[in-house]
Amino acid sequence: MLSWIKSLNKAHKRWIMLALDGVLVLLALLFAFVALDLPGGVWANLRSYMLLMPYMLILAMGISVWFGIHDIQVSAYDATSVGLTAVHAILLTIASITFADIAGLRLPVGLHMVFGVVFFCLAVGSRAVLLQLVLAVYRHSNKRTRVLIYGAGSTGTQLVSALHGHESIQAVAFVDDNKGLQGMRVHRLMVYPPASIAAVVKAKRINRVLLAVPSLIRPKQAQIARKLERMGLEVQTLPSFSQLIGDEALVSKLTPVSARSFLGRAEVAHPLGDASISYGNKVVLISGAGGSIGSELCRQVLECRPSKLILFELSELGLYSIDMELRSMIEHEGLAIELVPVLGSVTDSRQVRKLLTTHKVNIVLHAAAYKHVPLVEANPLTGLVNNVFGTQTLAEQAAKSGVERFMLISSDKAVRPTNVMGASKRLAELVLQDIAKRQGPEGTVFSMVRFGNVLGSSGSVVPLFQDQLSRGGPLTVTDVSVERYFMTVQEAVQLVLQACAISRGAEVFVLDMGQPVPILKLARQVIESAGYDVRDADNPDGEIEIQITGLRPGEKMSEELTLSNDLVGTTYPKIFMTREKGLSQIEVASALRALREAFVASDEDMAREVVRRWVEGVDTVAVKVDVS
């Protein structure tokens, strides 16, 4: 039966409804003649009326087509459709009276009135019966999705009305926090308290829960959804009516606040000024061009009008994104800058050598690195090879190719590191210092710059907090006393470009990061900036909780920017310089040889031992950790 119903196309359904209306005309007339029992008998009077029957049938179907009644689906037969059927019945009544008078049939007006009323009742009733028959077929022939509606307010009740008559979805109950509704029936469905969800799901064989509580804050909705999903239920959230019609944004409070708003101080602009001359009409290569720092380097270097900008990136998606963005900028501003996207790794010496010599690169800004502490901690060999040997390869080939300036983007985590990522950056610094000493003052000017956390960069704390907030919390902080230095990516890159322009060789530049920011305070700011309250002991009714999870392996309470704290000012007030004692050429060679042996042997413990031996301040890196 179900397959036959599904096989019917629209034309078939139209003819069925027209035929139904024709049959109903006959039945209504028969009922009218039987009910009134006119003189001469039912059949005699009915035979006299048969001459008019073809005209009545044609008119009945014509009116149905004219009003589109035959096109109305039985599941969509609403009050408007009933009104059209009433008009249909009235017109047929008038037509019956008119045709009978023309034919000279002396029939009472009451008979025509009874015919019209009966036809109307049969037309409306037949559609209701058809709907129930079709639904019964679907119920017995196809598995229906049984849904529980969370929220018995206006949105929930409208949803029940919309689902009424749906062939594959059946609303079976409500759940609502309002104690005044609990235990009552709304739209013939029982309203249960949230505490009864598990029992209701089991008793009524619920497959899906529809959250119809658009007035509830989004984190609270997310919390409810996670709880239901842990029960094995599929959960869907409905927007409010005002959101659907566009009067209210579908995502209101969850629009992420700009990361720079959490800086805790005024953002400092550092116009490049004369420093931009160092990049004008030069061939500039930026490694890690698709990353957070690398992409901002590309944007700001582009404003300095280099003759050629080479984008060196391992990630295809990252390279594609920044290449498309920069091409749009070049086209929009009508710049004569050649853009060269290169997909590759800084550890590939042959590719790096060819790239530097073919394009006659003048300046290298080396931002390519694996920087996420937990990931590098879990993959120490990969992190060390990329960050240490990648820097060595790029720097040595830059020196051989006659590159004028080479700037390494380092990190405050390189100072007395307690994790593999920081240790890899410190080793990269030591390698660069060694190359600078070996080649002397006449060759490439090598330098490096350290700064702390960049607000809004991939994997940084603010986007993490905002993602946790969007899922209803909690926000996780490792320790109440943890604090970090922060800069915006624009501030950091401006200072990097200025430091590179003034470098004379082997300097370690340190950027003024301002005062360190407590991470717990930052978490509270993220919550409050989104319009929510922090739930804690002082405010148990708050919406979002902050959880203290404990320090991760290799994590410090606070970071440092120098080993000696001896800083020398430069021509730029926010840039300081320090010269730190490195390793001898023999020591660097020994460290690299041991690290290469660990990589060849795929021995993580050996690699950690190399780091602990040669990097100052390392105590815990040699301990293998689980960061899952």
Q: What is the pLDDT of residues 510-565, one digit of tens each?
A: 887 777 888 888 888 888 777 678 888 888 878 788 999 888 776 777 777 676 66
Residues 216 and 345 occupy one common structural domain? no
Once rounded to an integer, what is the mean pLDDT over residues 468-484? 85
**How many distinct structural domains can be found in the chain?**
3
Residues 237 and 288 occupy one common structural domain? no
Question: Is residue 361 predicted with pLDDT exceeding 70?
Answer: yes
Strands 568-569, 575-578: pairing is: antiparallel
CA of residue 565 relative to chain centroid, distance: 43
Residues 223 and 346 occupy one common structural domain? no
Residue 628 in any domain: the answer is no
Q: What is the pLDDT of residues 23-42, one digit of tens each?
A: 888 888 888 877 776 766 66
Domain of residue 219: give its range. 145-244
Indicate the pLDDT class of residue 465, thresholds 50, 70 and 90: confident
In angstroms, the CA 476 to CA 157 distance is 38
Q: Which two tokens stand for residue 65?
A: 């087509």
Residue 536 in any domain: the answer is yes
CATH number of the domain enclosing 190: 3.40.50.720
The reported pLDDT for the residue numbered 78 is 73
Q: What is the pLDDT of residues 271-288, one digit of tens each?
A: 677 788 899 999 999 999
Residues 111 and 183 occupy one common structural domain? no
Calculate the average pLDDT of the chain: 81
* Most confident by average pLDDT, 98-112, 199-213, 359-373, 497-511: 359-373
Residue 250 in any domain: the answer is no
What count of other Cβ atoms lies within 10 Å of the Cβ of residue 243?
Answer: 15
Output 270-276 pairs: Cβ under 8 A, ≥24 positions apart.
Answer: 270/491, 270/494, 270/495, 270/498, 270/572, 270/574, 271/494, 272/300, 272/303, 272/304, 272/494, 272/497, 272/498, 272/501, 274/501, 275/497, 275/498, 275/501, 275/502, 276/303, 276/304, 276/305, 276/497
Residues 122 and 195 occupy one common structural domain? no
The reported pLDDT for the residue numbered 155 is 81
Residue 249 in any domain: the answer is no
What count of other Cβ atoms lies within 10 Å of the Cβ of residue 342?
Answer: 18
In angstroms, the CA 227 to CA 587 distance is 56
Question: What distance, in Å, lies between the first and last C-alpha atoms of the chain?
Answer: 55
Residues 151 and 286 occupy one common structural domain? no
High-pLDDT (> 70) share of the chain, %: 84
Strands 483-484, 445-450: pairing is: unpaired
Q: What is the pLDDT of residues 145-178, one digit of tens each?
A: 788 989 888 888 888 877 766 666 788 899 998 8
Domain boundary among 140, 174, 205: 140
High-pLDDT (> 90) share of the chain, %: 27
Q: Coil, helix or strand for 14?
A: helix
Residues 278 and 382 occupy one common structural domain? yes
Q: What is the pLDDT of residues 483-494, one digit of tens each?
A: 887 778 888 888
Of 192, 27, 37, 207, the C-alpha closest to 117 is 27
Q: Coil, helix or strand for 170?
A: strand
- Rg of the chain taking only CA atoms, in angstroms: 39
Length of the chain measured in residues: 628
Query: Could you tell me the sign of the dihedral formed by the alpha carbons of 568, 569, 571, 575, in that order?
Result: positive
Strands 234-237, 208-211: pairing is: parallel
Residues 221 and 291 occupy one common structural domain? no
Domain boundary among 244, 272, 291: 244
Residues 171 and 93 occupy one common structural domain? no
Cβ neighbors of 263 (< 8 A, separation 6 or more) are: 455, 486, 487, 488
Residue 372 in any domain: the answer is yes
Residue 129 in any domain: the answer is yes
Under a CB-based contact definition with an 8 Å cutoff, are residues 113 and 36 in contact? no
Residue 224, H or E segment: helix 218-229
Question: Is residue 501 predicted with pLDDT exceeding 60?
Answer: yes
Under a CB-based contact definition with an 8 Å cutoff, are residues 622 and 418 in contact? no
In angstroms, the CA 594 to CA 589 distance is 9
Under a CB-based contact definition with an 8 Å cutoff, are residues 310 and 359 in contact? yes
Q: Coil, helix or strand for 547?
A: strand
Query: DSSP labels for 473-515?
Result: --EEES-TT-EE-EEEHHHHHHHHHHHHHH--SSEEEEE---S
Question: Is residue 246 predicted with pLDDT exceeding 70?
Answer: no
Residues 554 and 508 occupy one common structural domain? yes
Residue 257 in any domain: the answer is no
> Structure pTM?
0.60
Residues 152 and 133 occupy one common structural domain? no
Residue 281 to residues 272, 298, 309, Cα–Cα distance (Å) = 16, 15, 10
Strands 283-287, 234-237: pairing is: unpaired
Residues 191 and 324 occupy one common structural domain? no
Cβ neighbors of 572 (< 8 A, separation 6 or more) are: 270, 495, 498, 499, 502
Domain boundary among 113, 140, 167: 140
Residue 518 in any domain: the answer is yes
